[in-house]
């Protein structure tokens, strides 16, 4: 069987769950634990990628470039990756991350807007960086359309295209069908990966089915730390893959279990869960990083966050439209008082 690479994004997607308040020492401790477990790729940035520290997305406690440099300093085995959303991060941001030692970038776009990533892939390849592409909210595109978008990324220099279930919406074959379509389109030229969330409890199962459909890179986080209901837990992924005989190289499942329980858990005040708000996100296909924004708006306007998220889903908002959540809350408050 083809060897699967488990990627860890605790220090990027997990940043949403801690409101982007990681310290340098926390990053060092997590990287050491993941590196000791022989994880090959560790992603480190603000939850919304390079340049994400802002009023709109939430300010980081520590500058992400300092966190990247600390991660590079601690890693003896793993590659340190960064995330970049065109329009949030820039090529200049990527150059600075490269200078700090990042050796991989994953460029993330909405699932139907892969064309905005072209210059970023070209720039990354010119910097001799490994490249991945994130097709976010992949449920919003059919398998055929997703494959077309993957081809755009690969032609621009992407080496692995990820089917990204940004809201935990996909259930079983819905995930597998998208991965299979992307593999059929670009599999001869690039790898295909899967990034799952737990909103409807399917993140791990979807990852298994993604592997069976041809994915060779799978994302997870320690303890499932991440936006919404959290990501597929990497320690569970490693354990399940071991049980199924899926080759994950030298990754040590027991060491990941220890890293989750002994290193990550004491750092976190609130772990993601499948609560009402995050379930609604999965049900309605709402971008997972919207959860805390909706909760703040609900508190401010005397509403239920789940009602805000349902309306956000009905309106079809995508990543980058966090500011529109206030408009939704105001409209719901007016309707309730009318």
Residues acting as catalytic residues: 16
Residue found by looking up tokens 């819905």 in the block? 174
CA angle 137, 31, 42 (to 5 degrees): 30
Question: Is 166 labeled as ligand-binding?
Answer: yes
Cβ(113)–Cβ(140) under 8 Å?
no
Quote the CA–CA distance of 310 and 272 in Å, as a whole number.
19
Structure tokens at 322: 């966090």
Question: Is 197 labeled as ligand-binding?
Answer: yes
Question: Is 15 labeled as ligand-binding?
Answer: no
Cβ(81)–Cβ(7) under 8 Å?
yes
Quote the CA–CA distance of 75 and 95 in Å, as a whole number.
20
Question: Is 13 labeled as ligand-binding?
Answer: yes
**DSSP state letters, 222-260:** GGG-SSTT-BPBHHHHHHHHHHHT---TT--HHHHHHII
CA angle 22, 228, 240 (to 5 degrees): 90
Question: Is 22 labeled as ligand-binding?
Answer: no
Cβ(12)–Cβ(44) under 8 Å?
yes
DSSP SS3 for 191: strand
> Can you give the length of the chain in residues?
338
Task: Select from 269, 319, 261 the least CA-distant residue to 291.
Answer: 319
Q: Which residues are annotated as a binding site for substrate?
A: 12-13, 166, 195, 287
């Amino acid at each position: 069987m083809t060897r699967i690479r488990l990627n860890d994004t605790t220090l990027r997607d997990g940043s949403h769950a801690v409101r982007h308040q990681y310290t340098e020492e926390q990053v060092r401790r997590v990287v050491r634990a993941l590196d000791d477990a022989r994880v090959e790729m560790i992603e480190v940035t603000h939850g919304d990628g390079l340049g994400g520290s802002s009023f709109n997305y939430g300010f980081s406690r520590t500058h992400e470039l300092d966190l990247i440099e600390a991660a590079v300093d601690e890693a003896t085995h793993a590659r340190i990756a960064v995330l970049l959303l065109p329009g949030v991060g820039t090529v200049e941001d990527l150059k600075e991350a490269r200078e700090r030692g990042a050796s991989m970038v994953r460029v993330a776009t909405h699932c139907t807007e892969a064309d905005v990533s072209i210059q970023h892939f070209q720039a990354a390849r010119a910097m001799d960086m490994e490249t991945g592409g994130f097709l976010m909210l992949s449920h919003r595109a059919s398998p055929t359309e997703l494959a077309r978008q993957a081809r755009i990324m690969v032609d621009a220099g992407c080496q692995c295209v990820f089917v990204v279930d940004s809201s935990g919406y996909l259930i079983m074959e819905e995930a597998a069908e998208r991965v299979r379509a992307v593999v059929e389109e670009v599999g001869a030229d690039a790898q295909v990966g899967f990034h799952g969330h737990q909103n409807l409890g399917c993140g791990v199962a979807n990852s298994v089915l993604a592997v069976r459909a041809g994915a060779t890179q799978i994302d997870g986080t320690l303890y499932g730390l991440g936006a919404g209901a959290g990501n597929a837990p990497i320690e569970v992924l490693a354990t399940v893959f071991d049980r199924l005989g899926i080759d994950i190289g030298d990754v040590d499942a027991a060491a990941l279990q220890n890293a989750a329980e002994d290193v990550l858990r004491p750092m976190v005040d609130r772990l993601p869960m499948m609560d009402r708000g995050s379930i609604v996100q999965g049900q309605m296909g709402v971008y997972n990083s919207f959860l805390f924004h909706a909760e703040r708006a609900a508190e401010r306007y005397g509403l239920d966050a789940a009602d805000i998220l349902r309306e956000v889903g009905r309106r079809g908002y995508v990543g980058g439209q966090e500011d529109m959540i206030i408009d939704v809350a105001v409209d719901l408050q007016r309707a309730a008082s009318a």
